[in-house]
Structure 1
């Protein structure tokens, strides 16, 4: 079995073949396996996935025209924007992609394409929080929640993205005040991941937390964590002048792309109703393609209207959002 470094070395030294496509991915290969296996079964094209935890921009920049990577997969808009802004991708024009991916979920020139989405929502105690108790992100700063909120680090990419969205809606002064109010309402110092916050609700340490939707599915599928998940419900807040904050997983074609035709076939496959159903079910996320329903479990959590903020603009507001988070010493 290839390790990450072995596979990267193989991709860097193996000539491009007519029957393959190579991916650099921030998403774990096992989470992509149902998709890549279905694509290979349908087309006969082999898919090689090299997983990276960081450093994709640096690697692609160093490889330049010699890069073996055809596609890049990311699990959030910010990392996708960083690769696009570095000039490491190429625009893709495809009637199939344009038919299956709404305009809000791809670049205007086809330089990036979303594959799935998820919302950043409220996990609320079933026993201590009523359905209508929190309806907006702004409401998280209400003093009524003092000592009742848990969250992971404010400097985690998921929370930076949410703060960037708040910044886009309300500007710097109001975003700073919101961060200060949210910090004042924390039950404990930010720590752990999104699932750890749900565990804290189950343990009675807090009443609500901020988390991505798909963690509910992951917890329900884990015998050790199902009890945590059963103790909470999902609430879908919105911005007062917008919708629910969403993020995406996405794909882009590299500038080098030695197997461009195969890469395009894979991109088109990923946006097809068949693949959208597989991808969304495997990762408890929401399909991008209109007319493809989410997994019944995901649908049972409730519906929401996504915020209409430009995802790439939010990604570019991340440095300003991080600066505000650090200025209020959110994790202190």
Structure 2
């Protein structure tokens, strides 16, 4: 069965790569025939725009194989030395960590990792952040003008109700991993027990759903990523704009470790067949121009330290971020699933 599953994965990969190549061949394949293959766990329009800009600038076509985090890792591991991947562009330090420990990643040049703060790149030089998103607490500022919650810890204390998406979500896995890193397993278990007791409803929907539940009066607080708020405020849907305008943001743990920040990240395959093109693409995605577009169009925080956040993003205020070792935090993700399951967080 394992052999059959592996063969199916390889066949799927070949099909997806063919589809990706065909997609980019329409108006973007250069006369030189140069390409770079990206295994991507991201799903944002800005990425497609940046790939197109890269092709226009360099003449290098970008072939994209899309999949969720698990599919991306499993595909790369299954293919091994025969992988078509040159670049990994994924969401979550936990995914980068998995690729690293499975020996999939190659070494990035120092001039690339030096573009971001030290805590946003792997000390061994195998991955680098491309953007950041803060995991914050939101509330309805019209109904609750003086919120008492300040930390992840006191979010789960008191009489209020909370909404949050499932524990299986990658954003929450890393959040809980950061709590393990800060407070130990016992502290994290207690946090989950308290969280479950404060839930206004069983986990459901995405981050936008949690925000809407707060404004609808279902809960007092929600946990969400900052960039979703930006997308809601710039939505074409008036209802989403209304929800976004009603929300206040709390950056948790400003007097202690800081707000949990996860990343989207870039890495190069150890077996990259187009290594020079891969390095060129990563450099392009970390350039000031690309980083500015990521924050302006997707409302993420730029990873490049020389780029300022979009004005809307900056209007939410400066905050202290948790600069804990993302590899050590990501190493706790397996334990988060066990804790969540045993303590009742669906």
| Superimposed CA distance per residue, residues 34-82 of structure 1 (whole angstroms, 9 cap, x where no aligned partner) | 2112222221211111211241222122222222210011111111111
- Cα RMSD over matched residues? 2.2
| Superimposed CA distance per residue, residues 234-290 of structure 1 (whole angstroms, 9 cap, x where no aligned partner) | 111127630110000001101111110011111111111111111222221001111
Partner of 2:92: 76
- CA 1:174–1:99 in structure 2 vs 1: closer, same or farther (change >3 Å)? closer
- CA 1:37–1:144 in structure 2 vs 1: closer, same or farther (change >3 Å)? same
Partner of 1:249: 264
2:277 to 258, 262, 272: 262
* Residue pairs, 1:178-327, within 5 angstroms: 178-222=191-235, 223=237, 224-238=239-253, 241-327=256-342
1:177 to 190, 214, 236: 190
Work out the CA distance in 1 between the residues paired with 2:14 and 2:78.
Answer: 16
- CA 1:239–1:158 in structure 2 vs 1: closer, same or farther (change >3 Å)? farther
- CA 1:44–1:12 in structure 2 vs 1: closer, same or farther (change >3 Å)? closer
* Residue pairs, 1:144-159, within 5 angstroms: 144-145=159-160, 148-159=161-172
Structure 1 portions without partners, runs of 5+: none
- Superposed displacement of residue 94, structure 1: 3.2
Structure 2 portions without partners, runs of 5+: 1-11, 26-31
Work out the CA distance in 2 between the residues paired with 1:240 and 1:94.
Answer: 33
- CA 1:137–1:239 in structure 2 vs 1: closer, same or farther (change >3 Å)? farther
4+ residue runs over 3 A deviation: 3-7, 9-14
Work out the CA distance in 2 between the residues paired with 1:287 and 1:257.
Answer: 26
* Residue pairs, 1:154-169, within 5 angstroms: 154-169=167-182
Work out the CA distance in 2 between the residues paired with 1:45 and 1:19.
Answer: 5
Partner of 1:93: 109
Aligned pairs, number: 324
Q: TM-score, normalised by structure 1?
A: 0.91
Work out the CA distance in 2 between the residues paired with 1:109 and 1:159.
Answer: 26
1:57 partnered with 2:70:
no
Work out the CA distance in 1 between the residues paired with 2:114 and 2:74.
Answer: 33
Q: In 1, are the aligned partners of 2:116 and 2:303 still within 8 Å (CA)? A: yes
- CA 1:11–1:193 in structure 2 vs 1: closer, same or farther (change >3 Å)? closer
2:17 to 2, 8, 17: 8
- Superposed displacement of residue 89, structure 1: 1.1
Partner of 2:3: none
- Superposed displacement of residue 28, structure 1: 2.0
2:52 to 19, 37, 43: 37
- Superposed displacement of residue 164, structure 1: 0.8
Q: In 2, are the aligned partners of 1:112 and 1:250 still within 8 Å (CA)? A: yes
1:27 partnered with 2:42:
yes
Which structure has more RCO (C-alpha within 8 Å, separation ≥ 6)?
Answer: 1
1:122 partnered with 2:131:
no
1:66 partnered with 2:82:
yes
